[in-house]
Amino acid sequence: MKKNILVITSSIDSTVDYIIKKYINVANFFRIDTDSFSQYDFYLGNIENGWIIKDKRTNTAISKNQVYSIYYRKPMLPDLSEYDKKYHSMIEKDILSIINGIADDFPRLTLTKPTILRKTENKTFQLLFALANEWNIPESFIGNSLEACKEFRAYKSIIKPLTTGKIYDGNNYEIYQTSYFKYHDVDEIQLTPIYLQQYVEKKYEVRITVINHIFYTVRIDTKNKLDWRRDYENHVYSIIDCPDMIKTNCQLFLDKFNLPFGAFDYIVTPEDKWIFLEVNPNGQWLWLEEALNLDISKRIIEYLLKE
């Protein structure tokens, strides 16, 4: 009998579309698109099954004891423009309370619990962890001190988003990406802490995707030497070996925080020194699977279905 995987995501998650289509004969998928929250009925409380979720569009339902594992992907909040703005924050928090509570409470396999994601995706936390473990990182600063910012005028530096780098006004997203740091652009930051790093010359960049101790190490050569995410069309990908020390560091981070999955970003200098940039504990991987014919999705499904 096929096992049931509860997928928590959004209606625009093409990665989940891909997984369900490819592995529909391997598992049963019950998908929650959180941006369509009103299309589901949630029942939690003094009931035998703990909770039940019904999809009103398909007239199907699933209960806690029927779920074998949870794949917590990329939930999004619904469009609340029809409601007064003063209620938006409360509604969003209430929705996340149910969604995240179900995933955090689940006693069996979850890839990955939102409480763990919230902690480990925090860039301040990552920087402090890297410093404590003496990883090779660029000269870095996170904070709201104008005096400290002045020090970064002495050399080529970058400014990067400290959190998501996205602002949503109800109609459109405004994206903030990694950019070269210009001190005269920083006026008043007492209430807006920033993330600065010294620019490091690179030979190439590396994305290391790890799922259940299996490493996929991909070299990324691109024309854009500031941020490869700006220039997907001109990328050249290749599989390379991951140094043992880098593997040890990545697995240390994953094991320390009970993470079965992580997407690590490194740069490699002209002197072949590996420099850690950040880790996304819920990072994207599909484009690499398709570009290099990898089997990351297979390993994810194997993890979600393991005994």
- Using one digit for the tens of pLDDT, what is the confidence trace for 40-76? 999 998 888 889 999 999 999 999 999 999 999 999 9
Q: Specify the range with the lowest mean pLDDT, choosing from 101-105, 141-145, 210-214, 263-267.
A: 141-145
Cis peptide, bond prior to residue 112, ω within 30 of zero? yes
> Closest Cα to residue 207, out of 177, 185, 238?
238
Q: In which band, very low, low, confident or very high, does the pLDDT at 208 lie, cut at 50, 70 and 90?
A: very high
Query: What are the extents of the domains in the chain?
Result: 4-111, 118-122+201-305, 139-198
Residue tagged 């955090």 (tokens): 104
Reply yes or no on whether the pLDDT at 166 is more than 50.
no
Question: Could you tell me if 6 and 27 are in contact, meaning their C-beta atoms sit under 8 angstroms apart?
Answer: no
CATH fit for domain 118-122+201-305, picks 3.30.470.20, 3.20.20.80, 3.40.50.620, 3.60.70.12: 3.30.470.20
Half-sphere exposure of residue 277, counting CA atoms within 13 Å on the CB side? 25
CATH fit for domain 4-111, picks 3.40.50, 3.30.2450, 3.30.2010, 3.30.1050: 3.40.50
